[in-house]
Chain A
Amino acid sequence: KAGVTQTPRYLIKTRGQQVTLSCSPISGHRSVSWYQQTPGQGLQFLFEYFSETQRNKGNFPGRFSGRQFSNSRSEMNVSTLELGDSALYLCASSLGTVPLEQYFGPGTRLTVT
């Protein structure tokens, strides 16, 4: 099976702009979780989508949003970008039920200038 893919791999945006990141999970997986990775804060959970519904949400402002499509592909959107949003955004794919293993995509490196 193909692994988790994310597009784009790199993005440079300016403050105030918005951005949309995409994640395609492993075939058959119905759950997609998004994480932000920064040197200072480590890996932090953003949200999880399962069967097109947000199942869980982390402690991020409302500027961070997401959605999932019927084919399980997921997108996350960040509006009104701030310098502090510069990070590696990782998505993780899983079946959504037992077993619980999550597999990460390569990430999207977002730089906000």
Chain B
Amino acid sequence: GENVEQHPSTLSVQEGDSAVIKCTYSDSASNYFPWYKQELGKRPQLIIDIRSNVGEKKDQRIAVTLNKTAKHFSLHITETQPEDSAVYFCAARATGGGNKLTFGTGTQLKVEL
């Protein structure tokens, strides 16, 4: 089955700096890659996603890139703010797998003032 690895497990940046979180997946049939942000005690919130026919997608300060050949995808957050502090999860959905998402282990992002 699908396996998703996520790095780093913790990331500390200064306010205003950029943050990058990387994920790799194992199933070449995966075609949909969402990213979720989970604040303490709250539900995971979908913040951006990318489909396998697209290499990059941006939404204001966040962007996601996908390299299908290498089976890598990354989340980029620019101009980080304290409210970006949370746990971020990447996930992958394989073709034919219904809506099953396989999640990475999460990255605890801390944005320091």
Residues of A in contact with B (beta carbons under 8 Å apart): 31, 33, 35, 42-45, 48, 50, 55-56, 58, 90, 92, 94, 96, 100-107
Contact = CB atoms under 8 A, between A and B. Distances in A.
Interface of B: 32, 34, 36, 42-46, 49, 51, 89, 91, 93, 97-106
Contacts of B42: 106
A43 B99 contact: no
A1 B18 CA distance: 34
Contact of A55 (B36, B49, B99): B99
B46 A101 contact: yes
Nearest to A55: B98
A100 B44 contact: no
Contacts of A55: 98-99
Contacts of B46: 101-104
Contact of A58 (B49, B91, B93, B100): B100
B100 A100 contact: no
Given A90-B44, A102-B99, A104-B44, A43 B49 contact: no
